[in-house]
């Protein structure tokens, strides 16, 4: 056929299978089928320029320019998630819950196992150490039970209801079902930062996901016995604390059990004011600890008192350091060879004015 000037070619003609194309490489004219052109690039290239004015829509496997975010968009499998290249990270995960994980609820999930080499995820909670430490991100597409879908581990999650928060709010993992809070949780909850509120619109809101964990508040308890404490001779007697004063993550249950909510290394300090209420002579007192109702090995302290009525001493049972698990509890016991010995409470003093003296004071602190 005769040569046809390019200027006379019909513009916008749609190519179809069976059409032939020619190109010139190193002075040689070569031919390629349209089908081959669709499936691969037939020669090496130095770069690819994307049309920065394109308004083409996405579909699975399509890479296109995103002028708003200034990067390339890659539409992922199923077409529900678009990855902004270089600006976010997602992971394909297996829904291990019995109900769907909904994109509209943008809840936090943690890695609970694996299925077919994909991480299995469940809704996260700040009340469980494994759940909080394994929290990986936010649900970014609806995932049916037993199906795979994408979780955003870092980057923007868009078109969600953020009206409960303010732009710039730090978002924390909540206690139940992967919910988010804009206030840091108090002990015994564990602190997991999930990210930040960017746009608090109820329909087109967005958050930036940036998961960080390992933040923990100190856990402690302080309790007193503000009355005289007696015991029968040669009888193991539990010490009760009738005035729990401060509790933060460690709870005094039944006025005797220092109960642990978070596994770790704990230190207990017990101070007892000993006094002879009557009689005279020598008496020996013992103080020790029990864990979950069983004597703690090597935890006993003995003190002997010699004298008449009113003879006093102070025993400081310090530095009981012990590893405890969630739900463990510590109790303190004492015994005396003479029922005349008491743990004595003293009211406020005068000349000079001074505070009351508890019969027993105990502090508990989580060290790590």
Question: pTM value?
Answer: 0.61
Higher pLDDT, 23 or 214: 214
Q: Of all residues in the chain, what percent are helix, strand and coil, respectively (each to 5)?
A: 5, 50, 45
> Domain boundary residue among 215, 237, 263?
215
In a domain, 293, yes or no: yes
- Backbone phi, psi, residue 330, to 5°: -115, 135
Residue 38: inside a domain? no
> Is 3 exposed, middle or buried, given 0-12, 13-18 or 19+ CB atoms closer than 10 A?
exposed
Does 45 reside within a domain?
no
Q: Select the more confidently predicted residue: 19 or 82.
A: 82
On whether both 77 and 196 belong to a single domain, the answer is: yes
CA 341 to chain centre: 49
> Rounded to whole angstroms, how far apart are CA atoms 288 and 311?
22
Q: Mark whether 235 and 274 lie in a shared domain.
A: yes
Torsion sign over Cα 237, 242, 245, 246: positive
pLDDT of residue 15 exceeding 80, the answer is: no
Among the candidates 156, 189, 215, a domain finishes at 215
pLDDT band at 166 (very low <50, low <70, confident <90, very high): very high
Mean pLDDT confidence for 110-128 = 94
Torsion 282-287-293-296 (CA) sign: negative
Condensed to tens digits (0 to 9), the pLDDT of residues 314-362 reads 777 667 999 999 899 999 999 999 999 999 999 998 999 999 999 999 9
Answer yes or no: are the C-beta atoms of 288 and 333 closer than 8 Å: yes
CA of 303: how far to CAs of 97, 152, 231, 239, in Å? 58, 61, 15, 17
Provide the domain limits for residue 242.
220-366
Strand partners, 346: 357
Tell me the percentage of the chain whose pLDDT exceeds 90: 66
Question: Are 169 and 232 part of one and the same domain?
Answer: no
Measure the CA–CA gap between 217 and 263, rounded to whole angstroms.
Answer: 13
Is residue 329 one of the residues assigned to a domain?
A: yes
Residue after which a domain boundary falls, among 178, 193, 215:
215
Q: In the chain, how many domains are there?
A: 2
Q: What is the pLDDT of residue 319?
A: 77
- 203 and 279 housed in the same domain: no
CATH number where 350 lies: 2.60.120.40
Do 209 and 342 reside in the same domain of the chain?
no
Kindly state whether residue 58 falls inside one of the protein's structural domains. no
Average pLDDT (275-303) is 94
Statement to judge: residues 361 and 229 lie in one domain: yes
16 located within any domain: no
Query: Could you report the per-residue pLDDT of 84-117, keeping only the tens digit for each?
Result: 999 999 999 999 999 999 999 999 999 999 999 9
């Amino acid at each position: 056929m005769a040569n046809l000037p390019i200027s006379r070619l019909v513009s916008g003609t749609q190519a179809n299978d069976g059409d032939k194309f020619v190109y010139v490489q190193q002075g040689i004219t070569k031919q390629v089928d349209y089908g081959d052109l669709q499936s691969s690039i037939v020669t090496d290239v130095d770069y690819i320029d994307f049309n920065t004015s394109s308004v083409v829509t996405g579909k699975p496997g399509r890479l296109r320019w995103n002028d708003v975010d200034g990067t390339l968009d890659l539409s992922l499998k199923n077409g529900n998630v678009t990855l902004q290249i270089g600006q976010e990270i997602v992971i394909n995960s297996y829904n291990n819950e019995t109900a769907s994980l909904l994109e509209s609820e943008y809840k936090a999930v943690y890695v609970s196992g694996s299925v077919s080499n994909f991480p299995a995820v469940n809704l996260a909670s700040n009340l469980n150490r494994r759940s909080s430490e394994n929290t990986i991100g936010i649900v970014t597409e609806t995932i049916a039970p037993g199906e795979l879908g994408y979780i955003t581990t870092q980057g923007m999650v868009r078109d969600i209801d953020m009206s409960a928060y303010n732009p710039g709010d730090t978002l924390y993992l909540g206690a139940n079902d992967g919910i988010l809070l804009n206030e840091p949780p108090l002990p015994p909850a564990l602190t997991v930062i999930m990210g930040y509120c960017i746009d608090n619109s109820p329909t087109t809101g967005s958050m930036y996901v940036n998961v960080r964990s390992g933040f923990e508040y100190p856990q402690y308890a302080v309790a007193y016995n503000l009355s005289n404490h007696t015991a029968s001779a040669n009888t193991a007697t539990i010490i009760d604390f009738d005035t729990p004063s401060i509790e933060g993550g460690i709870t005094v249950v039944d006025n005797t059990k220092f109960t642990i909510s978070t596994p770790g290394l704990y230190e207990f300090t017990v101070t007892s004011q000993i006094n002879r209420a009557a009689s005279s002579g020598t008496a020996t007192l013992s103080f020790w600890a029990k864990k979950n109702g069983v004597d703690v090995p090597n935890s006993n302290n003995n003190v002997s008192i010699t004298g008449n009525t009113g003879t006093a001493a102070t025993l400081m049972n310090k530095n009981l350091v012990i590893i405890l698990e969630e739900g463990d509890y510590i109790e303190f016991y004492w015994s005396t060879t003479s029922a005349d010995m008491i743990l004595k409470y003293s009211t406020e003093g005068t000349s000079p004015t001074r505070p009351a003296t508890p019969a027993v004071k105990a502090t508990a602190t989580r060290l790590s």
